[in-house]
Every structure is written in structure tokens, then in C-alpha cells.
Structure 1
Amino acid sequence: MLLDLSGVVYDGDTPIRGAVEAIALLRDAGLPIRFVSNTTRSPRQAIVVQLAGLGITIADDELLTPANAAVAWLTAHGCSPHLLVHPDLEAEFSGVPAGELKAVVVGDAAEAFDYAAMNGAFRQLVDGAEFLALATNRTFKDADGGLSLDAGAFVAALEFAAGKQAIVLGKPSRDFFHAALAGLGCGPGDAVMVGDDMESDVAGALRAGLGAGLLVRTGKYRPGDEGRFAPHPTAVVDDLEAAVEWIVRKRG
């Protein structure tokens, strides 16, 4: 089972009602879990600490983020990163070996998305650098409860200006979902994805061949989201607690 985090397990520093208990129920039922987050502001260790503060302890291999995937890609392709990411995320790339080639890496840089930074990334791209997008989400639910602009618009702007398509490393990338399933002991057709983002979480998982995609009405969900992207969700449920009830019932 694959679970999104922000908007499914927690909103900011607050657990969503019933989510902690739902995860415990999954563990008690012996169902393997992977947490798959498209967050590109928080480093991996900060996410682990945040979950621990909510009473959720996870193993190292249970969390996959786009930064993990980017570091692996850069290392495999011998590229040094030109980072356009949130300052808190930069340390995640400190161990990448220096390479002869360059790759622009774009995440949710927040206030760092100024003209100079965007133009610097653009110049690297037109000079031949590879183009990696940690994620292409349109929006995220911000701390004030409203939707805010996510990295997708900035990735699209660079694609338009440079005439180069980004390689997407996080959701909805098929490779990202399949990497998360590695070691779970089940094929994609037996896996379930639970998320609050219809486009990246649910439709992305179904296009990647997962057996079911459940859309929760928490987090960034807005009425009508289930009809905006295809494939449509296997089911729309109120929250993670209801999603787990759906999964356990189907399994039974």
C-alpha cells in the first residue's frame, strides 16, 4: 500500500483525524506500507522526525521522496546538480559526486523562485544541461489552509523558454511508483495508492499500473476533483481511516 503524506496523514503539524490509528491498523493487518511524498521543501530526516512526533515510526526504506530519486539519477548519469530548490532541501544533494555533465534540478523553491534564479536555470538548460523536475504538482495546501502555487508552473515556464521537456522524478512518474513498490512483495496490480491529489497521486498511480487509486476528501481535495483527470479514482472516500476500511474490506 502506498500512502501520500501531506493532506492524507497530516495537515502541517497536525495529524488528520483517524490517520495515525489507520496506519496502526494496516500494520496490525500485516499490510506493507510505503510513504510516497512529493514534498520538495522538507529534507527526508525532517519528515521522519515529523512523523515520529505524531507517533508514527517508519523504517528507512518506507519513505520515498523525489529528492531520493534525483540523487540516484544524478549519480547514475554522472551529473552535477544546478539546484533550484528550497534552501532546506539543498543538503540532500551534498553527497552527489561531481560529474562532467550538468543537470538542472527544480523543486518547490518558494521565495527562491525569483527572476535571477529562474534565468540562471534557463541559461544552464540552453547550454545543454539535463532537466530534472522533482515534481510537477500544480498546487499544495498551505499553512493558512488555502491553496498555493506549487513547482509545476515554474517547471512549465522553463520547459517553454528552453524548449526542453523535464524528466519528472516524483509522482506521477511511473518509475517513482514502481520504485516505491520494490521490496513490497506484490506486483503493481495488487497495490493501492491513497492520495489527496487526483492528478499526481491517483491518476498517476493508475496509469502506472497500480490496482487501485483511492482519493481522499482531505488535504488539497476540492469537490469535483475526481472528474478532472483520467483515469478516474477507484473510489472516493472521506479520509485515510475510510480508505483503510475500504482496503481491509476488499482484502477480506
Structure 2
Amino acid sequence: MTDWTKIPIKGILLDITGVLYESGGQAIDGSIDAVARLMKSKIPVRFCTNETSCTRKALVEKLHRFGFSMEEKDVFPPIPAMSSILKQRKLRPFTILKPEAMADMSEIDCSNPNCVVIGDATTEFSYETLNKAFQLLVSLDMPLLFSLGRGKYYNENGKLALDVGCYMKALEYACDIQAEIVGKPSRSFFNAALEDMSVSADQVVMIGDDVVNDVGGAQSCGMRGVLVRTGKYRFQDENHPEVKPDGIVDNLAQAVDMILKAL
């Protein structure tokens, strides 16, 4: 690992679940104060999440209940980006998403679908829904599968749970196709947040609990990636065969201490 604070830091990207709060639980110790201190420092902060179990508005309202004070415009989940893609490409999706999340796709025509979109559907995933997605994809001359992230698992109430990437891989295998990822670790997703901050990638640090999608995804875009030992973190992540974090910290509070000390 390098001294990831040595190069000036002009922007911060934060994952949400597993960094700010535990899925299904409460805010992680020190995270509320850590975010407040970052914002007070005037360093631009954006929140990049693959959370698609609810609307962006509902997610921000939940964070506010925890005690965070970010604005909705600074939170980057995949569904708004997915909606833009569907509109631009005139696509009509068959969706496997939680009903609570569909409000962010209210302007999208889902009749006579010609593509499939999957996200954090949890209990909406079943043999029946996956089979419908499969049947649609194999019926199309040019099948299109969009996945709102590609995580393998996440931490929920202290236990690991299957993430959307597992279902994405099943459909890829069955249909002999490759999904388009909308969300981390796609470059276009990270770049949207960078453009919003007007900061170059080499001056930005991404802090997350997913060594591949948060840390590795950020590094592939030219950013520094810092791994936190909260959320879905496992000790094996520190010796990942492909991704080497620029830094590893116990939690967000420790990372912010190091950032502010280096200013």
C-alpha cells in the first residue's frame, strides 16, 4: 500500500451501505460526524451507491433519519442513470426490481419489453421471474441485459446475502450474453460523479467496503481506492489476488481523520 493521502485530495466518493450505515441496521460508529467534518472542510463529496431497493429520495430520507445531512443531488444511485439510458436508446424494459424502487422509473414505458433490467430485487427474485427474463432474452434478435451493479454479496443484519451479480451471471450463462453494468464498477458511472465535482480522477479518493467494485472500480478510472473494515468487508479482501487497495482503514472516521490531517 502507498501513502494514499500524500497526493492532494480534491474530491471524495463514498459508498453508502457498509460505509455510512449497516444494511438493515444503523449508522456505523463515527460515520455521521465523519461526513459532517468532510463537508465542513469544503472538499467536494459525492455518494456513489449501487443501492436500488428504493428510490433516491427514500434513500436520502433514510440517511437523514440516521443523522446525515447530504443533499439528494449529491447521491448517485444506478436507477436514474438507467432511466436515462433507456430513454436515449428507446428501450422498454422487463424489470426485476423491488416495487418501492420503480417510482424512479415512472416515465419509462415497460410495455412489450425488448430488454431486461435487474437490480436489488431480493425477494422479487424467484425461478418464475428469472425464467421470464430468460425467455424474453432468448426470444430477442439482439438481447440486452442491464444489471444495476454486479456485487456478489452484501452484509445484512450481520449475515452475508446474495447480491444482484449472482442473478446477472445466471442469465448471462443461460443466454450466452454479457450484461451491461449500470452502477459500480462501470467507468461511466464513476465518471458521472467525477464530472459533477469537476475534479480530475487522480485527485479523488473512493472509500468503500467492496474491494472489487468500490476499490478496484475506482482504481480502474484513475482514482485511489480505500477499503474500510466495515460492511461486507472480510479479512481475505486485504490480500485480494487482483485488487490492491491504496489504503485500508478500520472505518470511515479513521479515513477522514487521515484526510483532514493531510490537508
Give 2:181's aligned residue: 168
Give 2:156's aligned residue: 142
1:73 counterpart SS class = helix
Relative to structure 1, is the Cα distance of residues 249 and 231 closer, same or farther in structure 2, using a 3 angstrom cutoff?
farther
Give 1:42's aligned residue: 54
Work out whether residues 226 and 245 of structure 2, in 8 Å CA contact, stay in contact via their aligned partners in 1.
Answer: yes
Give 1:113's aligned residue: 125
For 1:216 and 1:204, the matched residues in 2 are separated by 15
Tell me, yes or no, if structure 1 residue 22 matches structure 2 residue 31.
Answer: no
Work out whether residues 103 and 130 of structure 1, in 8 Å CA contact, stay in contact via their aligned partners in 2.
Answer: yes
For 2:25 and 2:45, the matched residues in 1 are separated by 21
Q: Compare relative contact order (CA 8 Å, sep 6+) and give the higher one, 1 or 2.
A: 2
Give 1:93's aligned residue: 105
Out of 43, 67, 72, the position equivalent to 1:31 is 43
Give 1:247's aligned residue: 259
CA shift for structure 1 position 247: 1.9
CA shift for structure 1 position 43: 1.7
For 2:79 and 2:208, the matched residues in 1 are separated by 19
Tell me, yes or no, if structure 1 residue 76 matches structure 2 residue 88.
Answer: yes
Work out whether residues 159 and 165 of structure 1, in 8 Å CA contact, stay in contact via their aligned partners in 2.
Answer: yes
Give 1:10's aligned residue: 21
Deviates further, 90-99 or 228-237: 90-99
Amino acid at match of 1:222: R
What is the number of residues matched between the two proteins?
A: 249
For 2:28 and 2:107, the matched residues in 1 are separated by 34
1:15 counterpart SS class = coil
CA shift for structure 1 position 101: 6.6
What is the percent sequence identity of the aligned residues? 37
Which runs of structure 1 show a deviation greater than 3 angstroms over 4 or more consecutive aligned residues?
97-101
CA shift for structure 1 position 185: 2.2
Tell me, yes or no, if structure 1 residue 126 matches structure 2 residue 138.
Answer: yes
Work out whether residues 97 and 119 of structure 2, in 8 Å CA contact, stay in contact via their aligned partners in 1.
Answer: yes
Give 2:4's aligned residue: none
Amino acid at match of 1:46: A
Taking structure 1 as the reference length, the TM-score comes to 0.94
For 1:158 and 1:206, the matched residues in 2 are separated by 28
Relative to structure 1, is the Cα distance of residues 183 and 119 closer, same or farther in structure 2, using a 3 angstrom cutoff?
same
What stretches of structure 2 of length at least 5 have no aligned partner? 1-11
Taking structure 2 as the reference length, the TM-score comes to 0.90
Residues 118-175 of structure 1: CA deviation (Å, up to 9, x unaligned): 11101111122421000110001112x1101111111000000011100000101111
For 2:102 and 2:63, the matched residues in 1 are separated by 21
Work out whether residues 171 and 200 of structure 1, in 8 Å CA contact, stay in contact via their aligned partners in 2.
Answer: yes
CA shift for structure 1 position 97: 4.6
Deviates further, 149-158 or 91-100: 91-100
Please give the root-mean-square deviation of Cα atoms over the aligned residues, in Å: 1.6
Relative to structure 1, is the Cα distance of residues 30 and 155 closer, same or farther in structure 2, using a 3 angstrom cutoff?
same
Work out whether residues 203 and 229 of structure 1, in 8 Å CA contact, stay in contact via their aligned partners in 2.
Answer: no
Amino acid at match of 2:78: P
What stretches of structure 1 of length at least 5 have no aligned partner? none
For 1:57 and 1:78, the matched residues in 2 are separated by 36
Give 1:186's aligned residue: 199
Amino acid at match of 2:202: G
Work out whether residues 82 and 182 of structure 2, in 8 Å CA contact, stay in contact via their aligned partners in 1.
Answer: yes
CA shift for structure 1 position 57: 2.0
